[in-house]
């Protein structure tokens, strides 16, 4: 319920901000409306659980770009009430460009496949699945079946199926095999994976269970499972922990989503798959920096105010 | 785009009324590639925390860069000179107090000496010693205030309070001698109004012993503070020849390395018998004649004043005569004129007194040191940053009462 | 990857209600602390300047002085300059006020009292603090006075340029610990003063200095308080503000001071762990887990207060820097230093696996760091109690013998 | 150099320009022709023996009975230490005196003050405007026959109806 309110609120704020940017005449007012839009975008990112991207959005856009816009305005504007009076031709050109953009946006909207699968990513979405407990709060009894490549159905201690949990969530629960905190503390949310008699499940036990699954329950194709199990049983993989099993079953970046908000994904993405574009952008920014430094070079020799006879 | 020169000539200090500027019209001449920051006329004063008193400096700035700084004075003008033409000689003494209200004793002394020279009066030796003691103590008090407010101008709040803690003790001594703490009128024509109370000299020595280590404390706290040096060294440099050409005097002149001190150049009273050095700026932290030098000259002068007062206190025992010469009921100096200048804490305070034989002077002209020192502000403050203007004004140490008279 | 302690909700209510309850506690605590700082700064600056500071308002040492200031500001007239940009003028104080307090949601006071335990709390704090700049800039721009315009311009270039060294200085501990979450960083520093990150290796030692200086600048404090420099710009960006709006700027500054103090404690000075490893031990014994949380929170607050005291100490001793010196220091001194530290820490982690040599380095640095701080404290105590007062009583003796003045010596 | 030597040196250098030189009194001075005053000033400053490089003050004095406004220039040499004064007279009704701003920049503000309070116009001064009084103030206060204004911009100035002349 809260997420719905927040989501629509942020969306409305973003739209209002965008219109504000279009309609307001005073340049500093436009900057404030832009702030509203960027803030709303950050809010949406947070709602999506992408905390890192939301924070970076705030830092870079709201804190950086916007400040520089206002700073530029302050230095160069003749007076605060400067109005824009665009000419007829300019309005026309702007209209054409905008319509083209809108068209592109609509096309993308229509053609993209909106995967509306029961992916459990955030606590918010988990709440919608009717279970108001935190997924990790359960005594995760056993993995009953694979729902799809990335999800398993889990039965808790009382045998009640607690709905789809991502392997990531499973790995996270296992990740916190609590060497520090004793298990079983009443308020403890992060239960480790237990086996039947209450001991934390080890990698081998999970492996055994996955083996024991009847084929039809295995949504994952056999080849991947076999290869994973083979890799696990190879002599040089001594400590088979749950997350290694999860890692073997899922695809490469399964484990990477362990902490749930994608920072690791972003890092791997930037330095892994998309290294080249990342470097190109940094070179571009360097050029911008040098340009700005050149533009703002001091025309009057600011020799630290030595003054003296003129 | 408003043409740049047109905005320079309009001297209107208020922001021009909103104009519908068609930003997109690209007239080739107006817009050049660089970032065109717009010049502003900024009014620093007359109500401004760092212009000592009611000084107004109109700054033409381009961003943080100050292109021109024109001081406007006259907000504290009380036409003291016109009043001087309607008062008897000794009645004008209280007016001299209010000129440089931080160094009342020195102002009285200047006028009293001018009138005594005009009237050919001979002041007893003891009175001369008392006058030198009070003049030098007032110099210390005045330099303390200038050191404290200079710290304030640069953002260091604490030295101001330490300086006033010491100044209070001097004011207590003055209060014991003449009852007043700011406008004393203690030194009058012919000597001093009253002799110093018993035990005053011992308390004065006690103060000097307490005060001497304090100067070292100020140096550690402010003078050698790295940020203070960064803010004042090489800022507002006045070369010696320009200083003399502009008629600067006092610590401002000596800060530029010119060893010109009226206590040595034209020694009056008992200054001849005192041994003290003239402290000049040596460019220790930057160029000779920068703000730091002017500031440090004042600190060194405080030490010299302490030496002078100690010597006076030793020698006053042997001095003959009372505290005041025998004065006629109404002083009618012979017709004539004289100009007499002495070394006030801020520079040369000189009085041109013209008498026409009656009991009232024909013309009294006061040459205020701050009036002359302030004139160079425009030349020094161009091409400096906005934050340097308070530093330069503070180092020139202006008292508006003396500028506007 | 050090496993984080488990996370216990304070009260087992459904999430939103729990959130509201915790917000009330956090904001209440933080605003009381901010009020305390206002009073404390006046007392600290007073005693540094050989005067007493507030003594009368509300009894002992004028403890309710900041309350009285708040009420006074409330009753003051809220005037808006006529040529000002009305809506912006009104928004600006909120934009400056809200981030300073919002950032506390993410600041963990102790293992248990981490209200929002997201694994990237450091980045979140900087995201939230980035908004504060806008409040000040809009405030300066909207009040349509030349002084506030200068204040806003200085604020813009100072804060934006100091975010880079600050960010890098924060990255160094994150790099050593390997997690962006403040909880993990603090846990890594448990178990004794030698494990504190500031003494972990020389690069971190220097990076603590860089962090503190950059945080002073980012918080417009002490030698970097150019945006509201009284002696040049009258009152900088909040020249035209009065009444409650001014109080918001004022309040936000002190809350941000507490935040900076907290961040310094968490990132470099061992979070909520005491110098002797007691709290870590308590956290391990199941029965004392709750007491460990409370003790941890207490130690964290004490550390934050000491850092705030150092900020105040600097304010009342150092004069103000000029804007070009501030930027020179940022670009030419702090930035290269921060980069070198970051590189150094990475190399250190790679070349210096640990063990005895690492422990030796830690102990040496602890002696230098803690020893230095202890020496300062000793001088402070000595100066307060043993240094002669200077003004002898006889100097202040009243002048009783004024009447019978001696004629001659 | 003693004042007598200075005045003698001046007189034989500028026989026609320097008139009555009274070197004996308390205020040794010489009266100089306005026409040649800038030339004499430059000589005073640049001459090696005189080296009067420090202009202490310029005081305007009003002598209504002689009908002239005198500018008194007090000079001193920071090199030799001797002081000397120069007087330049100007008629009272249309007082014009050449400005010595380019000889001694110090004269800038002193001349503006003399202009402001006595009305002596200094030709050649870069910005001869009022310095102490408001720009639109009428009259020159330090003149003996100055009539104190009844009010200024609505602010009542003086209540005495019949203002008696100054004491002399």
The answer to the question of residue A25 being in a domain is: yes
Interface of B with A (CB under 8 A): 1-2, 7, 15-16, 18-24, 33-38, 62-63, 65, 67, 234-239, 242, 287, 379-385, 388, 392
Spatial contact of C120 and A263, defined as CB atoms under 8 Å apart:
yes
Q: How many residues does chain A have?
A: 310
* Phi and psi based region of residue D89 (left: phi greater than 0; alpha: psi -120 to 50; beta: remaining): beta
Q: Which pLDDT belongs to residue C1?
A: 30
Segment C370-388 mean pLDDT: 83
Query: Are both A231 and A163 inside the same structural domain?
Result: yes
Chains that touch D (3 or more CB pairs under 8 A): B
**Residues of chain B contacting residue A310, judged by C-beta atoms under 8 Å apart:** 379, 382
Query: Are both A64 and A159 inside the same structural domain?
Result: no
pLDDT band at C391 (very low <50, low <70, confident <90, very high): low
The answer to the question of residue A303 being in a domain is: no
CA distance C144 to D34: 52
CA distance B59 to B70: 7
Q: Which pLDDT belongs to residue B186?
A: 92
Spatial contact of A263 and C180, defined as CB atoms under 8 Å apart:
yes
- Helix, strand, coil proportions of chain A in percent (round to 5)? 60, 5, 35
Q: Which pLDDT belongs to residue C332?
A: 92
Q: Which pLDDT belongs to residue C294?
A: 87
- For domain D3-133, the CATH superfamily is NADH:ubiquinone oxidoreductase Nqo5 subunit (3.30.460.80)
Could you give the C-alpha distances from A248 to A229, A244, B148, D132, in angstroms and in order? 7, 6, 73, 90
Spatial contact of C304 and C265, defined as CB atoms under 8 Å apart:
yes
Of the candidates A180, A9, B284, the one whose C-alpha atom is nearest the C-alpha of residue C183 is A180
Query: Are both A183 and A278 inside the same structural domain?
Result: no
Å between A173 CA and nearest CA of chain B: 54
Size of interface B-C (CB pairs under 8 A): 122
DSSP-derived letter for residue B333 is: P
| CATH code of the domain covering residue A88 | 1.20.120.1200
Nearest CB among C223, C322, C399 relative to B385 is that of: C322
Nearest CB among B19, B63, B384 relative to A305 is that of: B384
CA distance C211 to A104: 46
Q: Which pLDDT belongs to residue B78?
A: 87
Whether the upstream peptide bond of residue B46 has omega within 30° of 0, thus cis, is: yes
Mean pLDDT of chain A: 65
Could you give the C-alpha distances from A272 to A54, A168, A202, A278, in angstroms and in order? 22, 20, 31, 10
Question: Angle formed by the axes of helices A66-76 and C121-142, to 10°?
Answer: 20
Q: Which pLDDT belongs to residue A128?
A: 45
The answer to the question of residue A299 being in a domain is: no
The more confident residue out of A51 and B210 is B210
Q: Is the pLDDT of residue C197 over 60?
A: yes
Could you give the C-alpha distances from C65 to A128, B157, C37, C241, in angstroms and in order? 50, 21, 11, 21
The answer to the question of residue A118 being in a domain is: no
Query: Are both A251 and A282 inside the same structural domain?
Result: no
Spatial contact of B159 and B151, defined as CB atoms under 8 Å apart:
yes
Query: Are both A271 and A254 inside the same structural domain?
Result: no
Segment C148-176 mean pLDDT: 88
> Could you tell me the domains of chain B?
4-72 (no CATH), 80-404 (1.10.645.10)
Q: Which pLDDT belongs to residue A207?
A: 60
**Residue B239, token pair as written in the block:** 């070369």
Interface contact flag, A74 C141, Cβ < 8 Å: yes
Which residue in D105, D115, D165 has the most chain B C-beta atoms within 10 A of its own C-beta, making it the best mutation to test that interface?
A: D105
How many domains does one find in chain A?
3
Mean pLDDT by 10 residues, chain B (405 residues): 34 38 37 56 76 82 86 88 89 91 92 92 91 94 93 88 90 89 90 87 90 89 90 92 92 92 87 90 89 94 94 89 85 91 92 91 92 92 88 90 87
**Residues of chain B contacting residue C407, judged by C-beta atoms under 8 Å apart:** 195, 322
Interface contact flag, A77 B38, Cβ < 8 Å: yes
The answer to the question of residue A9 being in a domain is: yes
CA atoms within 13 A on the CB side of B68: 9
Give pLDDT tens digits for A216-273. Answer: 555 445 555 555 555 555 555 444 444 455 544 443 333 334 444 567 667 777 887 7
Segment A112-141 mean pLDDT: 41
| DSSP annotation string for D92-145 | SSS-EEE--TTT-TTHHHHHHHHHHHH--EEET-TT---SSS-TT--S-TTSTT
Chains D vs C: touching, with 3+ CB pairs under 8 Å?
no
Spans of all domains in chain D = 3-133
Chains that touch B (3 or more CB pairs under 8 A): A, C, D
**Residues of chain A contacting residue B33, judged by C-beta atoms under 8 Å apart:** 295
Q: How many residues does chain C have?
A: 409
Q: Which helix (H) or strand (E) holds B278?
A: none
Spatial contact of B4 and B34, defined as CB atoms under 8 Å apart:
no
Nearest CB among A90, A296, A307 relative to B384 is that of: A307
* Nearest chain A residue to C141, by CA: A74
Nearest CB among C323, C394, C402 relative to B64 is that of: C323
Of the candidates B96, B123, B98, the one whose C-alpha atom is nearest the C-alpha of residue B111 is B96
The answer to the question of residue A96 being in a domain is: yes
Nearest CB among B38, B65, B379 relative to A302 is that of: B65
The answer to the question of residue A248 being in a domain is: yes
Interface contact flag, C5 A58, Cβ < 8 Å: no
Interface contact flag, B388 A80, Cβ < 8 Å: no
Q: Is the pLDDT of residue D51 over 80?
A: yes
D140 touches chain B (CB under 8 A): no
The answer to the question of residue A225 being in a domain is: yes
D133 touches chain B (CB under 8 A): yes
**Residues of chain D contacting residue B267, judged by C-beta atoms under 8 Å apart:** none
Segment D74-83 mean pLDDT: 90
State yes or no: ipTM above 0.85: no
Residue A167: give the domain boundaries.
123-261
Which residue in B12, B21, B229 has the most chain A C-beta atoms within 10 A of its own C-beta, making it the best mutation to test that interface?
A: B21
Query: Are both A52 and A96 inside the same structural domain?
Result: yes
Residue the block writes with tokens 């402010």: B222
Nearest CB among C153, C232, C395 relative to B203 is that of: C395
Q: Which pLDDT belongs to residue A197?
A: 63
CA distance B309 to B312: 5
Size of interface A-C (CB pairs under 8 A): 128
CA distance C125 to C121: 6
Q: What are phi and psi of A71, to 5 degrees?
A: -65, -45
Query: Are both A206 and A157 inside the same structural domain?
Result: yes
């Amino acid at each position: 319920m809260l997420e719905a309110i927040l989501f629509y609120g942020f969306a409305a704020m973003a739209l209002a901000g965008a219109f504000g940017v279009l309609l307001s005449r005073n340049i500093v007012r436009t900057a404030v409306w832009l702030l509203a839009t960027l803030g709303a975008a950050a809010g949406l990112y947070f709602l999506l659980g992408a905390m890192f991207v939301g924070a970076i959005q705030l830092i870079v856009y709201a804190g950086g770009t916007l400040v520089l816009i206002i700073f530029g305005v302050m230095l160069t504007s003749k007076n605060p009430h400067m109005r824009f009076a665009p000419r007829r031709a300019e309005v026309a050109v702007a209209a054409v460009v905008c319509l083209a953009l809108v068209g592109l946006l609509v096309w993308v909207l229509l053609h993209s496949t909106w995967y509306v699968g029961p992916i459990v990513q955030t606590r918010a979405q988990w709440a919608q699945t009717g279970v108001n407990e935190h997924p990790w709060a359960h005594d995760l009894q056993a993995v009953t079946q694979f729902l799809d490549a990335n999800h398993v159905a889990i039965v808790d201690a009382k045998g009640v199926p607690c709905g789809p949990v991502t392997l990531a969530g499973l790995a996270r629960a296992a990740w916190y095999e609590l060497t520090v905190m004793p298990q079983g503390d009443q308020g403890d949310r992060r239960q480790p994976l237990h086996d039947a008699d209450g001991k934390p499940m080890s990698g081998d036990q999970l492996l055994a269970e996955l083996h024991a699954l009847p084929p039809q329950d295995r949504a994952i194709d056999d080849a991947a499972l076999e290869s994973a199990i083979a890799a696990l049983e190879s002599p040089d993989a001594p400590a088979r922990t749950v997350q290694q099993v999860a890692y073997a079953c899922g695809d490469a970046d399964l484990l990477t989503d362990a902490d749930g908000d994608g920072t690791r994904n972003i890092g791997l993405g930037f330095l892994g798959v998309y290294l080249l574009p990342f470097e190109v952008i940094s070179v571009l920014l360097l050029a911008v920096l040098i340009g700005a430094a050149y533009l703002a070079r001091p025309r009057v020799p600011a020799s630290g105010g030595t003054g003296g006879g003129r | 785009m408003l043409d740049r020169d047109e905005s320079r000539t309009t001297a209107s200090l208020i922001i021009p009324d909103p104009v519908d500027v068609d930003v997109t019209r690209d007239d080739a001449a107006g817009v050049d590639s660089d970032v065109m920051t717009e010049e502003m006329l900024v009014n620093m004063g007359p109500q401004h925390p760092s212009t000592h008193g009611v000084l107004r400096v109109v700054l033409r700035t381009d961003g943080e860069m100050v292109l021109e700084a024109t001081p406007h004075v006259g907000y504290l003008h009380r036409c003291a000179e016109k009043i001087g033409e309607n008062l008897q000689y000794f009645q004008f003494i209280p007016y001299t107090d209010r000129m440089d209200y931080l160094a009342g004793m020195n102002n009285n002394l200047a006028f009293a000496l001018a009138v005594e020279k005009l009237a050919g009066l001979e002041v007893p030796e003891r009175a001369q010693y008392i006058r030198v003691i009070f003049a030098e103590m007032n110099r210390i008090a005045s330099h303390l205030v200038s050191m404290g407010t200079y710290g304030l101008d640069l953002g260091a709040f604490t030295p101001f309070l330490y300086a006033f803690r010491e100044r209070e003790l001097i004011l207590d001594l003055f209060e014991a001698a003449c009852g007043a703490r700011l406008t004393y009128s203690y030194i009058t024509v012919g000597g001093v109004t009253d002799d110093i109370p018993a035990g005053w000299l011992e308390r004065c020595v006690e103060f000097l012993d307490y005060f001497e280590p304090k100067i070292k404390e100020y140096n550690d706290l402010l003078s050698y503070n790295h940020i203070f040096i960064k803010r004042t060294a090489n800022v507002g440099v006045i070369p010696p020849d320009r200083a003399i050409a502009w008629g600067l005097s006092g610590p401002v002149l000596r800060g530029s390395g010119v060893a010109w001190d009226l206590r040595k150049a034209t020694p009056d009273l008992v200054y001849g018998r005192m041994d003290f050095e003239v402290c000049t700026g040596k460019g220790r932290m930057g160029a000779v004649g920068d703000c730091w030098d002017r500031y440090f000259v004042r600190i060194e002068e405080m030490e010299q004043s302490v030496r002078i007062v100690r010597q006076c206190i030793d020698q006053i025992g042997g001095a003959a005569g009372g505290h005041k010469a025998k004065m006629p009921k109404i002083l009618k100096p012979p017709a004539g004129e004289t100009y007499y200048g002495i070394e006030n804490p801020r520079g040369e305070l000189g009085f041109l007194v013209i008498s026409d034989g009656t009991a009232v002077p024909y013309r009294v002209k006061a040459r205020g040191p701050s009036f002359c020192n302030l004139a160079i502000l425009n030349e020094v403050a161009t091409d400096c940053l906005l934050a340097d203007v308070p530093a330069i004004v503070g180092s020139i140490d202006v008292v508006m009462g003396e500028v506007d008279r | 990857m050090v496993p984080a302690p488990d996370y216990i909700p304070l009260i087992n209510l459904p999430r939103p209600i729990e959130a509201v309850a915790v917000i009330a506690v956090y904001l209440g605590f933080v605003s009381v602390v901010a009020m305390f700082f206002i009073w404390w700064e006046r007392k600290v600056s007073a005693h540094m300047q050989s005067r007493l500071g507030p003594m009368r308002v509300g009894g002992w040492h004028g403890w309710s002085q900041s309350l009285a200031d708040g009420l006074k500001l409330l009753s003051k007239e809220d005037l808006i300059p006529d040529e000002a940009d009305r809506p912006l003028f009104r928004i600006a104080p909120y934009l400056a006020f809200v981030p300073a307090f919002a950032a506390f949601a993410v600041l963990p006071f102790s293992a248990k009292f981490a209200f929002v335990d997201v694994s990237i709390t450091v980045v979140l704090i900087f995201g939230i603090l980035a908004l504060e700049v806008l409040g000040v800039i809009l405030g300066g721009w909207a009040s349509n006075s030349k002084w506030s315009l200068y204040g806003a311009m200085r604020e813009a270039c100072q804060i934006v340029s100091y975010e880079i060294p600050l960010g890098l200085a924060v990255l160094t501990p994150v790099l050593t610990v390997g997690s962006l979450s403040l909880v993990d960083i603090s846990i890594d520093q448990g178990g004794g003063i030698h494990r504190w990150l500031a003494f972990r290796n020389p690069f971190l030692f220097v990076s603590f200095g860089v962090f503190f200086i950059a945080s002073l600048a980012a918080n417009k404090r002490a030698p970097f308080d150019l945006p509201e420099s009284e002696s040049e710009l009258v009152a900088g960006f909040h020249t035209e503000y009065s009444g409650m709006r001014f109080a918001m700027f004022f309040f936000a500054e002190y809350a941000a001071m507490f935040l900076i103090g907290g961040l310094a404690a968490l990132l470099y000075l061992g979070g909520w762990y005491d110098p002797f490893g007691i709290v870590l031990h308590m956290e391990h014994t199941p029965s004392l887990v709750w007491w460990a949380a409370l003790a941890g929170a207490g130690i964290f607050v004490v550390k934050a207060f000491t850092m705030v005291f150092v900020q105040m100490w600097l304010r009342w001793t150092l004069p103000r820097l000029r804007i070009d010196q501030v930027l020179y220091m940022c670009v030419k001194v702090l930035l290269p230093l921060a980069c070198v530290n970051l590189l150094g820490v990475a190399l250190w982690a790679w070349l210096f696996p640990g063990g005895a040599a690492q422990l030796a380095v830690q102990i040496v640095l602890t002696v230098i760091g803690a020893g230095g701080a202890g020496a300062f404290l000793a001088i402070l105590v000595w100066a307060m109690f043993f240094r002669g007062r200077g003004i002898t009583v006889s100097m202040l003796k009243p002048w009783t013998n004024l009447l019978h003045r001696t004629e001659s010596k | 150099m003693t004042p007598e030597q200075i005045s003698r040196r001046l007189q034989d250098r500028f026989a026609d320009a320097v008139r009555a030189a009274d070197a004996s009194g308390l205020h040794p001075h010489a009266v100089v022709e306005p026409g040649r005053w800038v030339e004499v000033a430059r000589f005073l400053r640049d001459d090696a023996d005189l080296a009067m490089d420090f202009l202490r003050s310029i005081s305007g004095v009003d002598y209504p009975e002689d009908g002239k406004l005198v500018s008194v220039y007090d000079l001193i040499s920071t090199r030799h230490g001797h002081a000397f004064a120069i007087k330049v007279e100007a008629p009272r009704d249309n007082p014009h005196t050449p400005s010595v701003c380019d000889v001694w920049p110090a004269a800038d503000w002193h001349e503006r003050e003399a202009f402001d309070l006595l009305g002596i116009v200094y030709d050649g001064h870069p910005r001869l405007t009022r310095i102490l009084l408001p720009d639109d103030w009428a009259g020159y206060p330090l003149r003996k026959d100055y009539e104190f204004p009844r009010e200024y911009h609505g602010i009542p100035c003086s209540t005495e109806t019949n203002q008696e002349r100054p004491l002399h």
